[in-house]
Amino acid sequence: MSLSRFSNRRIAPPAIDGQERVADLVDGCFSSYNAGRLRELCQVFTRKMLEPKCTVGLTLSGALTPAGLGVSSLVPLVRAGFVDWVVSTGANLYHDTHFALDLPLHQGRPDYNDLELREHDVIRIFDIVFDYSTLLDTDAFYRELIAGEPFQKSMGTAEFHFEVGKYLHGRAAALGRASSSLLAVAYECGVPIYTSSPGDSSIGMNLAALALQGGDLRIDPLLDVNETAALVYQAKRGGGESGVLILGGGSPKNFILQTEPQIQEVLGLEEAGHDYFLQITDARPDTGGLSGATASEAMTWGKVDPDRLPDSVTCYTDTTIALPILTAYALARHAPRPLKRLYEQRGVAFDALTSAYQSRLATGEGSSKRGQ
């Protein structure tokens, strides 16, 4: 049997001389193991997911924004049109707000004496440290903001984050500087941001405090379920594609992937799954957890199109290492895309999904409509 059936790419990297661009290093020297998977991930993202017909969803879990990845990597990806919608933990958005408010976080070490840190009102996230006052100031910002008139109603998390981003973007403009936070830039670029567990963060805690004061703000997670499914359904109609870039795992991973079972299994609309599944994770699949579940396993749920599994890549490494490399690679290898501005299209997408579901109910067909 000919070896060429399996590979025609010989391992023969050039010698590194210190003059390489990141993208050239990835293409030329990331040959095997998880370096090889990172190369594949970068190439699939840039050569396939960034094609005009593909809608790109991104998930964020883990403490990424406190490490500065919002400013260094996520904001450039959004501005370039490389991310069309986002599912994030609330914690990442809360810590993103520190940067928007110019509340400093500092590099530290993971082996500090934590009792001593607490005695000095210092908070630690592994090797990141900051003053306890940063939390208090951010809490105060949210309590004051959400007491305002735009927030006194029921809304999904995309609208909530849009209103927060609108304020942060305006604040940066008033100070004469470019927005440095993901929330502000997502507002600017029309990128909707959802939180899969809106009560599980300091933002959710402050919203809960407002409820105790008689505030009228209510977060509607059911709206988020249908709205995100509508974005995917809209993306796939008329020959379009849907790709997911999963940073870490956790609840955001499931929330972005469950859009397809929501369309197929629950609403009974014909669909086949996401076209592209790219994940950067340190979670193993053998523990049975969702964070480490493979694209192949997700395919059995209808989350990933079985015909597109060869384009699925999982890279087992730290996101704080891989994401800046991916960002540099994509910006070097692909021109900026026109912004899809999906935030403004949420209503149209929701109405289309609702109409399709009601039409299916009217026909009396069964519920499962997996594409074959």
C-beta neighbour count of 160 within 10 angstroms: 24
Active site residue 48: no
- Residue 153 DSSP code: S
Cα–Cα separations (whole angstroms), residue 363 to 21, 265, 359 = 57, 16, 6
Q: Sign of dihedral through CA atoms 208, 101, 250, 107?
A: negative
Q: Can you tell me the distance from the alpha carbon of 177 to that of 14, in angstroms, rounded to the nearest whole number?
A: 42
Which entry of 48, 53, 166, 303 is annotated as an active-site residue?
Answer: 303
Token readout for 188 is 């600017």
Q: How many CB atoms lie within 10 A of CB 52?
A: 11
At 175, which amino acid appears?
A: L
What does the longest C-alpha to C-alpha distance in the chain come to? 73
Beta carbons within 10 angstroms of residue 8's beta carbon: 8
Neighbours of 195 (CB within 10 A): 30
Q: What is the DSSP string of 224-269?
A: HHHHHHHHHHHHHGGG-EEEEEEES-HHHHHHHHTHHHIIIIIS--
DSSP classification of residue 302: T
Query: For residues 349 and 273, what is the distance between their CA atoms, to the nearest angstrom?
Result: 18
Report which secondary-structure segment, H or E, holds 321.
helix 319-333
Per the document, the length of the chain is 372
| Alpha-carbon distances of 185 from 4, 28, 71, 102, 236, rounded to whole Å | 46, 33, 10, 15, 26
- The residues that are catalytic are 303
